[in-house]
Amino acid sequence: MNRTLHEADNAQRILKLTADTMLLVDRNGICIDIDIHSNLWFLQEERLLGKNIFELMPEHTREKVYSTFETVLREQRSISKNYKLELKDDTYYFKCIMYPYDDNVLCQYRDITQRSNVKRQLEQVNRNLREIQKVAQIGQWMYNTYDNVFYYMGYTGVLCEESSRSISLDNYQQLIVEEDRLNFTNWCRKNEEGPNEESISYRVRVAGEIYYMRLQAYLREELPNGSCNIEGYIQNITYIQRHRNDINTLTHAINNAKESIFAAKEDGTLIFANRQFLQNHGIPESEEIGKLKIYEIAGDMKTENDWQERCKDILHGGSRSFIAHHPSRISKNILAYEGIMYNVTNDSGEESYWSFSHDISERLHYEAQIKRLNLIMDTTIDNLPAGIVVKEVNNDFRYIYRNRESYNRDLCVGEAIGKNDFDYYPPEVAEKKREEDVLVATTGQGLHWTMEGKDKNGNQLILDKRKIRVDGDELSSPIIVSIEWDITELEKIKRELQTSKEKAEMSDKLKSAFLANMSHEIRTPLNAIVGFSHLIAESENTEERHTFYEIVEANNERLLQLINEILDLSKIESGIIEFTSAPVNIHSLCKEVYDAHVFRTPQGVKLIYEPSENGLVIETDKNRVFQVFSNLIGNAFKFTKAGSISYGYKLVNKQVVFHVTDTGTGIEPEKIERVFERFAKLNNYAQGTGLGLSICKTIVERLGGEISVSSVVGKGTTFTFTLPYESDQASGDREEQERNATNANGNPSDTAAMGTFAETSVQDASGSVSGNTEEGCSEGSSADASPSQQTILIAEDEDSNFDLLKAILGRKYRLIRARDGMEAVMSYDEAKPDLILMDIKMPNLDGLEATKIIRELSTTVPIIAQSAYAYQQDQIAAMDVGCNDFIAKPISQAKLKDMINKWLP
């Protein structure tokens, strides 16, 4: 016999035809020989021979192959396994049989990629089929007519499992609902007799629950013993059947629903209408609706275009809400329908539109009443200075009502519903409001507080705020009600009243002290004036009378200053204190202050003026600044018994800083804060009203500056006040400004005589009163006067005032008296006097009107206005009508003589 397969010469040829690729690998994984029987690109001699084959494998494959390789070497036994090899873009599967070969391993590589892929595809198909069966609840069954056993497996969820189960046909029939058993038996008989393509549906009862099942046979095989095997599928159709029942129930419910429901084609032809729709439109149930068009029935649609407009933009599967007003042509009581339309496409691809709507007539009536009530409430609330916000606790504290804020009337009401605080306020404000809401909602305790701040315009804002929780019933959730009242004006009034009350109480407390102080301050100079006036009349000693006169004059001045301060305070309290700004040379002003006060300086005290920039000019009220200096220096006179009183100014950072410094007794630290209070006297033994420093503070602040004081007890006190300095003043003509600050004759303008309240009276050189009440002129013209004497017309209605002027001027001048303004005009026209002393307040025709008339007669005669009205506006009024000068009552004889000498040289 020919043994070809055993011949050595044929071994290699047979191996190439039948064997797999062989690799001989040493213990280190180096391929020391290879016999290739494959066309795979990675199984080539030049790639593998002499190389470590494990280093060429992907990591996942290497770990599995190398583990087996070590086991073969260690245990010296053969192992066969399948592996997955992922290379580049392809994945390969191979079987590797490893044999121990001496100290090496012989690896037999067999490619099983195609077989593995087919296997995986089959497995995937089976998995998909199982998933489909699970979803469709389908199983398989087989019935053998000989042994009468029903075999089944699958996923019906009723009896079936993945593994095959069996039950006798008799037992299975016992599970079938009795009413369906006969049909099932007949169906089985038909399948035994021959092929039967009909399916059967029946019900089974398992574990007390009924399921709907469907059977279908798809294979019938006759066996040699005369029996046959019948195979088919079984499906659990319980869900489908119950859904069908639900549809029947739904159809019944739709037909009996209170909503009006209809369906129509694109052209408007009706295809369905429930009973309510038919009743609303007066259509008998027996009528064939397929012949009706919806736009021929509905009251809110007149043409087919109206129907098309209703269906517009409703895409397949989409919907659209609508409100149809007066939808019925036969029932006027139906005001409107609210509904929704759906686009539905059937299995044949035909589109239809289904409409579901309900009568909202009653709701419209109710909403109209609610709107009317809300309009009344909103109008009422919007006109209250209160903001009201209502929030739902269980709906993220969203607004269900909000009117305009009490202080921000621009917030829109209509946009607020459904929003919350985070939609209106910055995060930090909204977080604060949320914390308050949560606190009220959780504790049930209301909050009440007052908040002060600024509104959007930067104005002061004061709010009275409350938050309370209102619990709901079983149909509604609790709410938070926030109420905030704008009480800005009310609070301002309250605070003003409180301030006024405190001020009144303080004034009441100071009243007794002030009256006692005023009584003392007024009676003291009056006592001296009255007493020494009698002594002057009784004394025959000229030197003694002169001394008494000086005492009377000093007390006159003191009493006049006291009255001026009281009048000044009255104007400050009434808010009508007046200021007149003009360029003022500070150096000239300070020299005038020195000249006015140097002769009044107490013995042993030196008055020092510390000049700075001589040309410094500011825009201010000269008389008021003079008044501040006079009050401060006069105050220093009271408390300085030795040393000096210095004053001056300097320019610091666009401010002129003035100071008055004394070396007096000083002020105690606990009292220094009260120095500017009205009626406050820190030393009850010193003369004064306690008004001077308060007046100084008011004047300085009205002029745009500030005043302060520093003091050391026993060393002295410094008062400092500032006035603003505008740099552009210095860029102008400095000489022109100084000229404006100086009067026509080159002397500083008179300050003390022009109605300032710190008037300083200076006696004449002799210190005595010029004039004699027993000699001089009588009323009218003076017969005894020398023809060379100059004539003065005195317009004065008060006899005592005229007698004083007569005593002062009667020896030197010829005097003519007029008792009222009209007489003054006539006297001037007749006598043509050289000078007129014109009283402002007179009967019939006052001094101002008389001056106007006289100025029409003469523009040159000097007219000096005299008046007890000593305010700045009185001086201005006199100058406006033509007066040349002004002197305030009570009249200082020295000042009067100087003024007359000025105009009658």
| Range 378-400 average pLDDT | 82
pLDDT at res. 680: 56
| Range 488-503 average pLDDT | 86
- pLDDT higher than threshold 70 for residue 690: no
| Range 300-324 average pLDDT | 84
The structure tokens listed for 843 are: 């009967």
CA-nearest of 561, 578, 576 to 876 is 578
Domain 120-242: give its CATH superfamily: PAS domain (3.30.450.20)
Give the separation between CA 375 and CA 111, rounded to whole angstroms. 89
Output 220 or 687, whichever has higher pLDDT.
220
Give the separation between CA 121 and CA 129, rounded to whole angstroms. 12
Cβ–Cβ < 8 Å for 440, 480: yes
Cβ–Cβ < 8 Å for 683, 704: no
Give the separation between CA 482 and CA 374, rounded to whole angstroms. 18
384-486 in CATH: which number?
Answer: 3.30.450.20
Output 38 or 709, whichever has higher pLDDT.
709
% of residues, the chain, pLDDT over 70: 84
Instruction: Find the radius of gyration of the CA atoms of the chain.
Output: 62
pLDDT at res. 776: 38
Give the separation between CA 325 and CA 488, rounded to whole angstroms. 50
Peptide linkage before 890 cis (omega within 30 of 0) = yes
| Range 236-243 average pLDDT | 79
pLDDT at res. 570: 65
Cβ–Cβ < 8 Å for 561, 599: no
Output 853 or 235, whichever has higher pLDDT.
853
What are the contacts of 573-577 at 24+ separation with CB within 8 A?
A: 577/698, 577/699, 577/702
- pLDDT higher than threshold 90 for residue 706: yes
- pLDDT higher than threshold 90 for residue 836: yes
Domain 256-363: give its CATH superfamily: PAS domain (3.30.450.20)
| Range 222-233 average pLDDT | 85
pLDDT at res. 658: 95
Give the separation between CA 645 and CA 664, rounded to whole angstroms. 9
498-556 has which fold? Helix Hairpins (1.10.287)
pLDDT at res. 738: 46
- pLDDT higher than threshold 70 for residue 120: yes
The structure tokens listed for 619 are: 């825009």
Domain with CATH 3.30.450.20 in the chain: 4-111, 120-242, 256-363, 384-486
Domain with CATH 3.40.50.2300 in the chain: 791-903
Output 693 or 781, whichever has higher pLDDT.
693
Output 826 or 144, whichever has higher pLDDT.
826
Domain with CATH 3.30.565.10 in the chain: 580-740
Give the separation between CA 783 and CA 776, rounded to whole angstroms. 10
Q: Map tokens 């001089």 to a residue.
A: 776
pLDDT at res. 378: 72
| Range 189-214 average pLDDT | 86
The vertex-867 CA angle with 864 and 868, nearest 5°, equals 155
Output 181 or 567, whichever has higher pLDDT.
181
pLDDT at res. 676: 82
Domain with CATH 1.10.287.130 in the chain: 498-556
Residue 818: partners with Cβ closer than 8 Å, 6 or more residues away: 793, 794, 795, 796, 824, 826, 827
pLDDT at res. 69: 92
Give the chain's mean pLDDT.
81
Which of 403-407, 534-538, 684-688, 719-723 shows the lowest per-residue confidence on average (mean pLDDT)?
A: 684-688
pLDDT at res. 576: 61
pLDDT at res. 70: 92
Give the separation between CA 59 and CA 331, rounded to whole angstroms. 84
% of residues, the chain, pLDDT over 90: 22
- pLDDT higher than threshold 70 for residue 533: yes
pLDDT band at 408 (very low <50, low <70, confident <90, very high): low
Give the separation between CA 613 and CA 559, rounded to whole angstroms. 37
Output 101 or 555, whichever has higher pLDDT.
101
4-111 in CATH: which number?
Answer: 3.30.450.20
pLDDT at res. 618: 92
791-903 in CATH: which number?
Answer: 3.40.50.2300
580-740 has which fold? Heat Shock Protein 90 (3.30.565)
Q: In Å, how far from its chain's centre is CA 596?
A: 60
pLDDT at res. 775: 36
Output 850 or 373, whichever has higher pLDDT.
850
Output 682 or 670, whichever has higher pLDDT.
670
pLDDT at res. 18: 56
pLDDT at res. 606: 93
Give the Å distances, CA to CA, from 511 to 172, 364, 464, 507: 120, 73, 38, 6
- pLDDT higher than threshold 70 for residue 15: no
Cβ–Cβ < 8 Å for 863, 839: no
Give the separation between CA 111 and CA 37, rounded to whole angstroms. 10
- pLDDT higher than threshold 90 for residue 852: yes
| Range 475-489 average pLDDT | 83
DSSP per residue, 235-301? EE-HHHHHHHHHHHHHHHHHHT-SSEEEEEETTSBEEEE-HHHHHHTT--TTS-GGG-BGGGTBTT-
Question: How many CB atoms are closer than 10 A to CB 744?
Answer: 7
DSSP per residue, 115-166? HHHHHHHHHHHHHHHHHHHHHHTEEEEEEETTTTEEEEEES-SSS--SS-EE
- pLDDT higher than threshold 80 for residue 153: yes
Cβ–Cβ < 8 Å for 459, 368: no
- For residue range 707-733, list pLDDT tens digits in order: 999 999 989 999 999 999 875 544 444
Please report how many Cα atoms fall inside a 13 Å half-sphere around the Cα of residue 369, on the Cβ side: 5
| Range 685-694 average pLDDT | 62
| Range 138-147 average pLDDT | 83
| Range 463-479 average pLDDT | 82
Question: How many CB atoms are closer than 10 A to CB 312?
Answer: 8
pLDDT at res. 736: 47
Cβ–Cβ < 8 Å for 840, 821: no
Output 687 or 666, whichever has higher pLDDT.
666
Greatest mean pLDDT range, 399-403, 495-499, 866-870: 495-499
| Range 429-453 average pLDDT | 90
pLDDT at res. 122: 80
| Range 536-559 average pLDDT | 81
Give the separation between CA 166 and CA 153, rounded to whole angstroms. 9
- pLDDT higher than threshold 60 for residue 758: no
pLDDT band at 11 (very low <50, low <70, confident <90, very high): low
| Range 630-637 average pLDDT | 89
